[in-house]
């Protein structure tokens, strides 16, 4: 289909008035990345790589040319003014490539970004639950898991959908059952648990996070152990949120003003989460189910973000950022 026909179809499909509204959107367009670079032969979850260095560089260049790229400290004032299209680059989890790959690119373009770190992953340096499940799938000597209390049917580990199924199951569990689930996977697959040395160099050190802070990047919290917060009772949520704030204060001498919800779907946080965030003094909390947050419907504890994933080429990236309510909808895959 040529461009003119495509445009005509688009107008017909969305409706002319709606399309004008889509073009004229105003608000905060927050994009979310996890890892930058090339997964190569990594045994960890390949879905976490959001862009190659080259793609990330091209995306930053495009954003810088077409948007006001802002930091989280600007958003309250911009929201009060209620006008303009502002873009915010964010990263979740605290992977070392954020420091080694993304930070130099951001610095070269002189643009700000916001990095959310899970304090316990930085402290311990061991594999996260999603990377450990990916590691088990890749290394297990037994290539099929029998049906069990965890999965209603056998799972062939060579099936391309196996990892997504196992991650989805983890996310559906009450937090109290997650450790038993990982042990069961380790045992039935024959992989055992991921040894700490397999995760060496995966996470930033606090020294690296401090260097990014000093280089003008904003740092926010992402809990201690990266649980789905809504699966914890209020006390458990408070421990994860306040515990992360304590570590940021101790290591970075920063209050935890910004926060992102692990997993980040609509069901991953609740009223108790919001209460704990308020108590901890958090000013903005970011979700992760697509779309953007318009200044008219502002919710400081649900600033929506769009997932950027490796298969998004520059033309799709342009479409997503130009018409986020059309192309930046709900995420389909299961990253964290
Ligand atoms: Zn995360």
Each residue's pLDDT tens digit, 249-266: 999 999 999 999 999 999
Question: Is the predicted pLDDT of residue 333 greater than 60, yes or no?
Answer: no
Segment 186-209 shows an average pLDDT of 97
Measured in Å, residue 297 CA sits from the centre of ligand 1 at 25
Measured in Å, residue 228 CA sits from the centre of ligand 1 at 10
Measured in Å, residue 92 CA sits from the centre of ligand 1 at 5
Measured in Å, residue 93 CA sits from the centre of ligand 1 at 5
Question: Is the predicted pLDDT of residue 322 greater than 50, yes or no?
Answer: yes
How does pLDDT run across 99-142, given as a tens digit for each residue?
999 999 999 999 999 999 999 999 999 999 999 999 999 999 99
Residue 284, beta-bridge partner list: 258
Q: Hunting for tokens 């889509």 — which residue is that?
A: 22
**CB contact at 8 A, 254 and 115:** no
**pLDDT-based confidence at residue 151 (cuts at 50, 70, 90):** confident
**What is the three-class DSSP state of 306?**
strand
Other beta carbons within 10 angstroms of residue 225's beta carbon come to: 18
pLDDT for 219 equals 98
Please tell me the distance from the alpha carbon of residue 20 to that of residue 15, in angstroms, as a whole number. Answer: 9
Q: Which residues of 254-292 are buried (b: 16+ CB within 10 A; e: fewer)?
A: bebbbbbbbbbbeebbeebbbebbeebebbbbbbbbbbb
Compute the mean pLDDT over every residue in the chain, rounded to the nearest whole number: 92
Measured in Å, residue 1 CA sits from the centre of ligand 1 at 39
Residue 30, beta-bridge partner list: 88, 305
Positive or negative, the CA dihedral 204, 208, 210, 211 is negative
Residue 316 CA to chain centroid, in angstroms? 19
**CB contact at 8 A, 228 and 175:** yes
Residue 115 CA to chain centroid, in angstroms? 10
Segment 188-208 shows an average pLDDT of 97
Q: What is the enclosing helix (H) or strand (E) of 121?
A: helix 119-124
% of the chain at pLDDT higher than 70: 92
Measured in Å, residue 336 CA sits from the centre of ligand 1 at 4
Question: Is the predicted pLDDT of residue 11 greater than 70, yes or no?
Answer: no
Other beta carbons within 10 angstroms of residue 247's beta carbon come to: 20
**pLDDT-based confidence at residue 6 (cuts at 50, 70, 90):** confident
24 or 204, which is more confident: 204
pLDDT for 9 equals 72
Measured in Å, residue 169 CA sits from the centre of ligand 1 at 16
Q: For residue 163, which phi and psi values (nearest 5 degrees)? A: -60, -45
Measured in Å, residue 330 CA sits from the centre of ligand 1 at 17
Measured in Å, residue 306 CA sits from the centre of ligand 1 at 14
pLDDT for 265 equals 94
Measured in Å, residue 111 CA sits from the centre of ligand 1 at 22
Residue 218, beta-bridge partner list: 114
Least Cα distance to 101 among 45, 60, 44, 46 occurs for: 60
Measured in Å, residue 263 CA sits from the centre of ligand 1 at 6
Interior CA angle at 100 toward 94 and 101, to 5°? 95
Supply the DSSP string of 27-46, one letter for each residue: EEEEEEE-EES--TT-SS-G
Measured in Å, residue 44 CA sits from the centre of ligand 1 at 14
Question: Is the predicted pLDDT of residue 284 greater than 80, yes or no?
Answer: yes
How does pLDDT run across 45-87, given as a tens digit for each residue?
999 999 999 999 999 999 999 899 999 999 989 999 998 889 9
Measured in Å, residue 20 CA sits from the centre of ligand 1 at 35
Q: Take residue 194 and report the two structure tokens written for it.
A: 């991921």
Measured in Å, residue 121 CA sits from the centre of ligand 1 at 10
Measured in Å, residue 227 CA sits from the centre of ligand 1 at 9
Question: Is the predicted pLDDT of residue 23 greater than 70, yes or no?
Answer: no
pLDDT for 330 equals 63
For 43, residues 6+ apart whose C-beta sits below 8 A from its C-beta are: 134, 135, 138, 139, 198
Interior CA angle at 38 toward 327 and 141, to 5°? 105
Measured in Å, residue 152 CA sits from the centre of ligand 1 at 27
Segment 203-211 shows an average pLDDT of 98
Segment 38-44 shows an average pLDDT of 96
Measured in Å, residue 83 CA sits from the centre of ligand 1 at 30
Measured in Å, residue 144 CA sits from the centre of ligand 1 at 28
**What is the three-class DSSP state of 233?**
coil
Measured in Å, residue 81 CA sits from the centre of ligand 1 at 31
pLDDT for 20 equals 53
Question: Is the predicted pLDDT of residue 10 greater than 80, yes or no?
Answer: no
Please tell me the distance from the alpha carbon of residue 256 to that of residue 240, in angstroms, as a whole number. Answer: 13
Compute the CA torsion angle 17, 21, 23, 29 (nearest 10 deg). Answer: -160
pLDDT for 334 equals 46
**What is the three-class DSSP state of 174?**
coil
% of the chain at pLDDT higher than 90: 82
Measured in Å, residue 192 CA sits from the centre of ligand 1 at 24
Measured in Å, residue 99 CA sits from the centre of ligand 1 at 16
């Amino acid at each position: 289909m040529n461009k003119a026909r495509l445009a005509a179809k688009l107008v017909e499909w969305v409706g002319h008035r709606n399309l004008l509204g889509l073009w004229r959107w105003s608000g905060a367009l927050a994009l979310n990345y996890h890892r930058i670079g090339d997964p190569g032969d990594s045994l960890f979850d390949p879905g976490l790589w959001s862009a190659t260095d080259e793609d990330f560089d091209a995306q930053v260049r495009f954003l810088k040319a077409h948007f006001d790229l802002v930091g989280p400290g600007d958003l309250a004032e911009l929201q009060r003014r209620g006008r303009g299209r502002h873009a915010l680059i964010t990263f979740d989890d605290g992977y070392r490539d954020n420091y080694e790959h993304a930070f130099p690119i951001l610095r070269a373009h002189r643009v700000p970004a916001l990095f959310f770190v899970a304090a316990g992953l930085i402290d311990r340096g061991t594999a996260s639950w999603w990377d450990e499940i990916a590691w088990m799938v890749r290394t297990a000597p037994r290539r099929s898991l029998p049906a069990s209390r965890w999965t209603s049917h056998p799972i062939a580990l060579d099936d391309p959908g196996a990892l997504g199924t196992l991650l989805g199951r983890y996310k559906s569990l009450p937090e109290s059952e997650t450790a038993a689930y990982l042990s069961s996977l380790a045992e039935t697959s024959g992989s055992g648990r991921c040894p700490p040395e397999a995760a060496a160099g995966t996470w930033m050190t606090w020294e690296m996070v401090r260097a990014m802070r000093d280089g003008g990047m904003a740092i926010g919290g992402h809990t201690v152990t990266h649980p789905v917060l809504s699966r914890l009772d209020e006390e458990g949520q408070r421990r994860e949120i306040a515990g992360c704030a304590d570590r940021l204060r101790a290591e970075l001498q920063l209050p935890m003003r910004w926060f992102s919800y692990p997993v980040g779907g609509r069901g991953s946080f609740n009223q108790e989460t919001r209460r704990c965030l308020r108590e901890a003094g958090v000013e903005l909390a970011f979700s992760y189910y697509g779309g953007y947050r318009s200044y008219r419907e502002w919710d400081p504890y649900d600033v929506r973000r769009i997932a950027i994933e490796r298969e998004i080429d520059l033309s799709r990236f342009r479409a997503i950022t130009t018409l986020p309510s059309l192309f930046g909808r709900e995420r389909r895959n299961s990253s964290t």
